Amino acid sequence: MEENREEEVTILSRFSTILFDLDDTLFDFSACWEKGMQQTIATHALTTDLDGAELLAALRRHGDDLWVDVIAKKYDFTQYRQLRLQRAMADLNRTIAVEEADDFQRTYQAACLEAVQPDPAVQAVIAKLAEEHKLGIVTNGPVDMAFIKLERLGLSAYFPQERVVISELLGYHKPDPRIYAAAQERFGVASSEVLFVGDTWEADVAGAIDAGFSAVWLNPRGKKATSAHQPLAVIERLEQLPAYL
């Protein structure tokens, strides 16, 4: 066991560049999403009279279903947000206009971002890694929230705009090979020098490995792998990452 540990440390120490996913990797986005949605459902004129738990479950269900279509480029993020709410409301026998969905989204977005708070433990990890590695982000997400999240997390100094690769700007999403290639080109490094850290198996582990990167899987909820790809390590908290470096 000790020999395996030493081998892992030797392997991981060769990376010049560490790329991170953003949501549910650098912070608990799922918790912020839920808190923001609960607050918005309870206070927005569209939803105050509805069963909050039922609507939240419908939003989560339709969000998961529609995300597949976002990755396939059937819908953009604006359409995704509109359809998620419209379909969830339809489950509760309520029809709403696109403009109403947009207003709900604006209220939710403010509440969600308010829930994003800095984590001193994560800040310390990133500061330590930045001493010896180039750091970047590759995220499947919209532009309108990414940099605000980083600012609220107190991580903007480590991830300036030129080091953040956002799928909405590129027009394709992880695990599309082109997004990893774009990140590699932006950092000017060989794929063998890149370590990718993220929470989603398909996007952050399998996709990264297929692109020639190595990967560490952040898996606090004990999810099961869905392919035979082999990450270099599986961790439950980001604070565990430096132990492998």
pLDDT at 2 over 80: no
Separation CA 52–CA 42 (nearest Å)? 7
* Mean pLDDT of the 44-67 span: 97
Domain ranges of the chain: 2-27+117-244, 31-115
Q: Which of 127, 134, 153 is nearest to 25 (CA)?
A: 153
* Mean pLDDT of the 166-170 span: 95
In this predicted structure, what is the pLDDT of residue 157? Answer: 97
What are residue 197's phi and psi, to 5 degrees? -125, 125
**For the chain, what percent of residues have pLDDT higher than 70?**
95
In this predicted structure, what is the pLDDT of residue 244? Answer: 80
pLDDT at 245 over 80: no
What are residue 194's phi and psi, to 5 degrees? -105, 130
What are residue 14's phi and psi, to 5 degrees? -85, -10
* Mean pLDDT of the 171-193 span: 96
pLDDT at 87 over 60: yes
In this predicted structure, what is the pLDDT of residue 152? Answer: 98
In this predicted structure, what is the pLDDT of residue 14? Answer: 83
CB 66 within 8 A of CB 84: yes
In this predicted structure, what is the pLDDT of residue 13? Answer: 62
pLDDT at 70 over 80: yes
Spatial neighbors of 104 by CB under 8 A, at least 6 apart, are: 40, 44, 46, 47, 85, 96
CATH assignment, 2-27+117-244: 3.40.50.1000
6-41 pLDDT, tens digit each: 444 444 468 999 999 999 999 999 999 999 999 999
pTM of the model: 0.92
* Mean pLDDT of the 158-185 span: 96
In this predicted structure, what is the pLDDT of residue 79? Answer: 98
108-142 pLDDT, tens digit each: 999 999 999 999 999 999 999 999 999 999 999 89
Average pLDDT across the chain, whole number: 94
Instruction: Select the more confidently predicted residue: 241 or 245.
Output: 241
Buried/exposed 196-235: b ≥16 CB within 10 Å, e otherwise = bbbbbbebbbbbbbebebbbbbbbeeeeeeeeebebbbeb
* Mean pLDDT of the 47-62 span: 98
